[in-house]
Structure 1
Amino acid sequence: MRTRLTLSAGDLARTRFAVSPMWEVVTGFRALAASPVPEVHRAWAAQVRPRLAAAGLDRGWLAEMVPAAGHLPDFLNPPPAGAVGELEQELSTVRRTDPAQVRRDLDLLAAERGGRLSARLHGLYREPERRLPRVTAEIEAYWQLALAPYWARIRALLEADVFHRARQAAEHGTAEVLNGLHRTVRWEEGELLLTERHCPVTRIPTAAGLVLVPSAFAWPRVLTRSPGGDPPQLAYPARGSATLWERREPPRADGLALVLGRSRTVLLAELAAPASTTELARRCELSAAAVSEHLAALRAAGLVSGHRAGRSVLYARTAVADALLDAQA
């Protein structure tokens, strides 16, 4: 299956890049739903899946709407408002989705499933305005468990991709950028040709340009969103996604320890993957009270962030901490 996007000069002039938290929600959940999980994301999935199962999020709204393959509801991915979207803003847009759009998306899901929808999705079909707040509440919970502790790392990857593409456009032009997005995307005589599509759409109308969205989880596919009235979106695998979860050798960081102290430096090194106070206390052979005190100081300095995960809090390094540790490597 091939899909064609005919782009006018005006469309090309309005083509832009955007980072979207909701695209990471949808593509990340799809990666978790796959069997097996794509190899590049297995380290992340091993940490996240138990949290989602404990919270019941492996069998909720997202589990019923985001399959491992097939149609993804367009209403879950509204156009990002700026260069870097905010989750709260995107969820607000999802809650205000036109009921007709929700029903069109659910009709497509039903068509792929032999004309059937679950009782939960039937309720959403009947009362979108009433049920969408429940959907977005679950997405917020999923975000806190699966993405918020890693967002600094993911966002840095996505922004680095955009920076690379922008420089590529400046040096070689837009056609070079479009041809370099993915092996299934090709610029050809005024049209963007997408091959190896599972969607039945063969031509996507354009309006007000094109939004190119790098994604940490889209690999190995390119995904599209093209409801009428909005500019089409194309989510493609960001450069470096395969190395996103690689565990780095902990740096010696002796110089950093002279400033922060040995215990706080050890805690930062251990936070290569998000962890709770209890986990850190066990791994670093410190008391929970001492770890809590050190984390409070590191958080105040902007070196760690905390994210609620059920009854506990997961701590993660910020981009500032990553840069400090990288400088010691």
Structure 2
Amino acid sequence: MVVLAEFAFSASDLAQTRFTVSPMWEVLTSFRLLGAAGPHPVHQPWIGQVRRRVVAAGLDRGVLAELIPPGPYRPDFLNPAPVGPAPTLAEELAAIRATPADQVRRDLDHLEYHQGGRGPRLRTLYAEPPARLVRVAEEIATYWELALAPYWARIRALLDADVFHRARQLAEHGAARLFNDLHPSLSWDDNALRLVRRQRTLYRPTAGAGLLLLPSAFAGPGVHTRVRPPEPPQLAYPARGTGTLWESRPLPRTDAVAAVLGRSRTLLLTELDAPASTTELARRTGISPSGVSQHLTALRDAGLVSAHRAGRSVLYARTAVAESLLAAAL
């Protein structure tokens, strides 16, 4: 059993350990998942909806495809240290665009070492980091809108639930229980957190103080680390309940909701268990396309649905407010 890291913890390190939810971690792990061959036991419903949009937008042939290859390494500058408990994608993209040129080049050198070569888009990025990082951020924003934004209310609820569970676990049982329960490859002993089953050794003197813990819906069976002193090391792990993320949910008893919203708007909300276009919703509900559009406009104005551009169409998705409303109806 090979030790990847052994982070010794002082009282100061424990005081600086915190949880955060990072959109960029979901971007990187989900993009790599889309490029994997074969079906996925958990995320296949999402892949089936999203992959064709990503291919149609050409993102499978863009700079992201070169920056996020199938191998184990991804450039560290794509995961800037989150400042707060839940940075927005816009905040993380701003940090990526502000990455110093020398850091970009070091990360690309490391990526080339792992990949054995460098594609044409990465050669351009290496030559002109400040200008080309703008293009990288634009591609990430496009991918987010196509692949993650329509599902973010559901994903974010999963990640927030994990953080809530871990926080309660810490309060009731202490840090040792928290760390030992995060993942089978992690263990806490003698004031140190050990990560096993990896090849590269990293120790506290080569990392920053504290630790950032990031639950992820797409991290897969393993854990992912990002270490760049003097920033605190980041550790992304699979969130609890990911296996049920895309399961169909029981239909609520909608009479009470319909009495407030109307039956057509309530029907549309229940049909948005997965994001859908106006045309799809009209076909499934029997409501005319113009009627669906009017109802969706009203629901969006009320904060119950969100709209996301996907090529020539617009996908509508339930917001967290709508999810809470329907959950209460259960």
TM category, shorter: over 0.9
2:187 is paired with a residue whose SS is: strand
2:210 is paired with a residue whose SS is: coil
1:163-312 → structure 2 map (5 Å cutoff): 163-197=164-198, 200-204=200-204, 205-312=206-313
1:136-147 → structure 2 map (5 Å cutoff): 136-147=137-148
Superimposed CA distance per residue, residues 38-57 of structure 1 (whole angstroms, 9 cap, x where no aligned partner): 31111101110011011111
1:58-137 → structure 2 map (5 Å cutoff): 58-114=60-116, 116-137=117-138
CA contact (8 A) 1:213 1:234 kept: yes
CA contact (8 A) 1:31 1:37 kept: no
Task: Give the CA deviation at 1:203.
Answer: 2.8
CA contact (8 A) 2:208 2:228 kept: no
Counterpart CA distance in 2 for 1:220 and 1:282 is 38
Superimposed CA distance per residue, residues 76-130 of structure 1 (whole angstroms, 9 cap, x where no aligned partner): 000111011111010000001111211121112111122x101111111111111
CA contact (8 A) 2:19 2:213 kept: yes
1:39 is paired with a residue whose SS is: coil
Superimposed CA distance per residue, residues 230-284 of structure 1 (whole angstroms, 9 cap, x where no aligned partner): 1100001111111111111333412222221111111101100001111111111
Residue 101 to residue 201, structure 1, CA distance change in 2 (3 Å): farther
2:133 is paired with a residue whose SS is: helix
Counterpart CA distance in 2 for 1:206 and 1:53 is 38
1:48-63 → structure 2 map (5 Å cutoff): 48-63=50-65
Counterpart CA distance in 2 for 1:203 and 1:48 is 39
Which AA in structure 1 matches 2:237? Y
1:71 is paired with a residue whose SS is: coil
CA contact (8 A) 1:281 1:288 kept: yes
Counterpart CA distance in 1 for 2:230 and 2:240 is 30
Out of 30-39 and 12-21, give the one that drifted further: 30-39
Task: Give the CA deviation at 1:181.
Answer: 0.7
Q: Partner residue of 2:318?
A: 317
Structure 2 unmatched ranges of 5 or more: none
Moved over 3 A (4+): none
- TM-score normalised by L of structure 1: 0.96
Counterpart CA distance in 2 for 1:122 and 1:170 is 49
Task: Give the CA deviation at 1:37.
Answer: 4.6
Which AA in structure 1 matches 2:27? V
CA contact (8 A) 1:225 1:234 kept: yes
Task: Give the CA deviation at 1:190.
Answer: 2.2
Task: Give the CA deviation at 1:221.
Answer: 1.1
Task: Give the CA deviation at 1:156.
Answer: 1.0
Please point out which of 12, 15, 34 is paired with 1:13. 15
Cα RMSD (Å): 1.3
CA contact (8 A) 2:78 2:96 kept: yes
Out of 270-279 and 4-13, give the one that drifted further: 4-13
